[in-house]
Amino acid sequence: MKIRAEVRLKPGHFDPEGDVTAKSLRELGFPVDAVKVGKVYVLDVKVNSKEEALRLTEEMCRKLLANPVKDDYTIEVLNT
Partner 1 sequence: MDAGKFRAIVLRTGGTNCDLETKIALEEMGVKTEIVHMNKIESKSLLDYHLIVFPGGFSYGDYVRAGAVWGKRVFTRLREQLEKFIDEGRLMLGICNGFQVLVEAGVLPGDGIGETPLVALATNSSAKYECRWVWLRVENNRTPFTLAMEKGEVLKIPIGHAEGRFLTDEKTLEKLKEGSQIVFKYVLPNGEDANGLYPYNPNGSLYDIAGICNRNGNIMGMMPHPERAFFGWQLPEWGEAPPERGDGRKVFESVIEYLENNIS
Partner 2 sequence: MGLNISLDRMKYLKQYFKDRPLTDVELEMIAQTWSEHCFHNVFKGDVLTDDGRLIHSILKTYIMRATRELNKEWCISVFEDNAGIVDFDNGYAIAAKVETHNHPSAVEPFGGAATGVGGVIRDILGVWGEPVALTDVLCFGPLDIKYEDLPPGVKHPRYIYRGVVAGIGSYGNNMGIPTVSGAIFFDKGYTGNVVVYCGCIGILPKDSYVRNTCEGDFAVLAGGRTGRDGIHGVTFASVELTEESEELRSAVQIPNPIVEERLRRAIIQIRDERLASGITDLGGGGLSCAAGEMAYRSGLGVDIDLDRVLLKTPDMAPWEIWVSESQERMLLSVPEKNLMRVIEIFNEEDVEASVVGRFVETGRVRVFAKGRTVCDLDLKFLFNPPKVTRKARLPKPAHSEVNLDEPRDLGEELLKLLSEPNIRSKEDVIRTYDHEVRGCTVIKPVYGDEAGPSDAAVIKPLKDSWKGIAISCGINPFYPDPYWMVANSIEEAVRNNVAVGGRRIALLDNFVWGSPENEDNMGMLLKAVEACYDFSKALDAPFISGKDSLYNESPLGAVRPTLLITGIGIISDVRKVVTPSFKEEDNPIYMLGLTKEELRGSAYLRHKGVDGGEVPRVDGVISKRIIDTLIRVIDEQLVLSCHDLSEGGLGVAAAEMVVASKNLGAEIHLRKVLSGTRRSDFILFSESASRFLVEVDRSRYKRFEEFFSGLPFSKIGRVVKGAGLRIIDLNSRVSELSSREIKKAWRGY
Strand partners, 61: none
Contact 2, 75 (CB under 8 A): no
The answer to the question of residue 79 lying near its own copies (CB under 8 A) is: no
Amino acid at 26: R
Binding partner at 62 among partner 1, partner 2, its own copies, none, C-beta below 5 to 8 Å by kind: partner 1
The answer to the question of residue 58 lying near its own copies (CB under 8 A) is: no
Rounded Cα gap, residues 72 and 66, in angstroms = 7
Residue whose CB is less far from partner 2, 6 or 72:
72
Site for partner 2 in 6-65 (CB under 8 A): 9-10, 12-16, 20, 24, 27-29, 63-64
Tell me 79's DSSP state.
-
SS3 6: strand
Positions touching partner 2 (CB under 8 A) are 9-10, 12-16, 20, 24, 27-29, 63-64, 67-70
